[in-house]
Chains A and B, each alone.
Chain A
Amino acid sequence: MSTMSYALRDSTTMVRRRIKHMRRYPSLTIQLVGLPVVFLLLFVYVFGGTLGDGLGAGSGGRSEYVAYVTPGIILMAVAMVAMGTAVSVAMDMMEGVVARFKTMAIARVSVLTGHVVAAMLQTFFAVAVVLAVAFAIGFRSDANVVEWFAAAGVLAMLAFALTWLTVAMGLVAKTIDSASNMPQPLVFLPLLGSGFVPTDSMPAGLRWFADYQPFTPVIETLRGLLLGTGIGANGFGAVAWSAGIALVGYLWARKLYNRQD
């Protein structure tokens, strides 16, 4: 077998290892999925009536708001899983087994790719749960199969990027607490973007941040694909941000993992 296929095989082994962890200890996954679901229900049922009217489009009210907020909640789920990944990586690094991996003749980065790929699968699970709840409370999409696949692709890119970043955070963290605190802002980025209310309703400074932060183009692209609103330059923005974050996250993680001191 070639080096390349060994690398693939080792990574697959490490993904299977992580999936076994997740299935055996599902409580972390449940927590990660739980928060976005609670936010969805909270925003739709408590604030949804008023916020929906404020959107100033369509019929207004709660049913309008479910459609508006669902892409934001989906990104919150993506960010939650990324946060969980930082914790899992930090816990893994404190176990001696990673030191064992480092003394073995295996594809070196496979430990990290195992975390990233497993986290992406976990992300799709979390997004599926959020969507199921959203559909149950009235979310409807007019997307065709191609648009659904495109939406999945956009989410996969973002999940890939964010998990590489949080893998690095998990590696740099000295404690489990700091590993869970560092990525915390990611979870709240959808709130400080176009996830919950349109950015033009925000005060100037905040609006500037909301318009230019990475989650907003991704949310707008998702909205465009699922609800048929305009995408415009947001599609490019979503891809560019994901690629940039992925590159920074990957290089940072690899550097941290390979240090020998």
Chain B
Amino acid sequence: MTANITQPAIAVRGLRKKYGEKVVLDGIDLSVAQGKIFSLLGPNGAGKTTVVRILSTLIRADGGDMRVAGHDPVREPNAVRAAIGVTGQFSAVDKLLTGEENLLLMADLHHLDRREGRRRAAELLERFDLVEAGGKAASTYSGGMQRRLDLAMTLVGSPQVIFLDEPTTGLDPRSRRDLWQIIRELVAGGVTIFLTTQYLDEADHLADRIALLDQGQLVAEGTPEELKRQIPGGHVNLRFTDPAELDLAARTLGVAGRDDEALVLQVPHDGGVHSLRALLARLDDASIEVEELTVHTPDLDDVFLTLTEKKKEAVR
């Protein structure tokens, strides 16, 4: 392996930012491998946009060491700018121009020659399903179309590292899926994606690694599976037809999580097939009739709530 391949696309150590008295980023460390999707996940106000704005050279951090595509955003902002593409949280298209003019504007600013610029614009309009709308002012576009144009503009310069700040917030489910597909294609093409989102399922679907940001601190980091494994919460729900069966099962399995009204028993469970088989065998041995069985594996929602709750308790 060459040094270039092992070098992370983005490396951040001890990133700090304050607005007045308010600490927005309180010492953040991250590393994003080349050619991967990294998702910074956090609720509104967590500091996601601030991270993106610092790494994309829009604002200065108060402290910390950063490398984006091998360059320091503070000392070599232009080298960073030449390597990145940014689709911010808020639409960054020129609404007075048409979709095509927006793309040609980007081509001119990337110093492509006229023919190459036209070719690239046409290709992107096609790819983002904007051929028909290409001649209309961007102000007339729907939210999804503006998002697509925004991303298309980001791609004109063929960036190595792409920042997407809440790219699907406010989109309808279909536009969301379309955008996910596009993001997957981009990574397949070798670029690195730094994606922020408030949606757990989005991070779960797209990201190779996820960092959870809460009130300016990273509360967890890892692959989606690693994060899910960090917390208990997997269980099996057993539903019965009569209370006697429920009682019997509760005694047999020795568990306390029961809902007498719904006739449901909750049994802790790690999600593995073996332990599930063992559980069923015990129920069979005791001749207990189970009406319905559902397996609940922890999703990122559980992870998120658990981790942010833990932190709040630690603060208290």
Contact = CB atoms under 8 A, between A and B. Distances in A.
B93 A97 contact: yes
Contact of A24 (B57, B78, B137, B153): B137
Contacts of A103: 56-58, 81, 84, 86
B96 A96 contact: no
Interface in A91-110: 95-97, 99-106
Nearest to B59: A260
A164 B81 CA distance: 26
A10 B92 contact: no
Nearest to B97: A20
Interface in B68-97: 78, 81-82, 84, 86, 88, 90-97
Nearest to A100: B92
A17 interface: yes
Contact of B60 (A6, A17, A101, A261): A261
B290 interface: no
Interface string A14-50: 0011001100110000000000000000000000000
Given A6-B111, A20-B97, A260-B60, A100 B88 contact: yes
A100 B91 CA distance: 9
Contact of A100 (B86, B97, B137): B86
B interface residue count range (under 10 / 10 to 19 / 20 to 34 / 35 or more)? 20 to 34
Interface in B39-84: 56-60, 78, 81-82, 84
B208 interface: no
A197 B78 CA distance: 53
Nearest to A12: B108
Interface string B151-180: 001000100000000000000000000000
A174 interface: no
Given A96-B88, A96-B92, A102-B58, A20 B101 contact: yes
A9 interface: yes
Nearest to B86: A103
Interface in B139-154: 153
Contact of A99 (B92, B101, B157): B92
Interface residues of A, number: 24
Contact of B109 (A10, A20, A21): A10
A16 to B, nearest CB: 8
Contacts of B157: 104
B111 to A, nearest CB: 7
Interface in A77-126: 95-97, 99-106
Contacts of B91: 95-96
Contacts of B182: none
Among B58, B81, B109, B110, residue most surrounded by chain A Cβ atoms (within 10 Å): B109
B30 interface: no
A103 B95 CA distance: 18
Contacts of A96: 88, 90-93
Contacts of B153: 100
A1 interface: yes
Contacts of B88: 96, 99-100
A169 to B, nearest CB: 21
Contacts of A1: 111
B105 interface: yes
Contacts of B110: 104
B169 to A, nearest CB: 14
B165 to A, nearest CB: 11
Contacts of A20: 96-97, 101
A97 B92 contact: yes
A97 B111 contact: no
Contacts of A9: 108, 111
A103 B58 CA distance: 6
A247 B57 CA distance: 27
B59 A261 contact: yes
A13 interface: yes
Nearest to B77: A105
Given A102-B58, A103-B57, A13 B109 contact: yes
B95 A95 contact: yes
Contacts of B137: 24
A104 B81 contact: yes
Nearest to A97: B94
A106 B109 contact: yes
A101 B154 CA distance: 11
Interface string B101-144: 10001001111000000000000000000000000010000000
A-B interface, 5 closest residue pairs, ranked by CB to CB distance from nearest: A96-B92, A100-B92, A105-B82, A105-B81, A13-B108
5 contacts: A97-B95, A99-B58, A260-B58, A260-B59, A260-B60
Given A17-B105, A102-B58, 6 more contacts: A17-B97, A95-B92, A103-B58, A104-B109, A260-B60, A261-B59
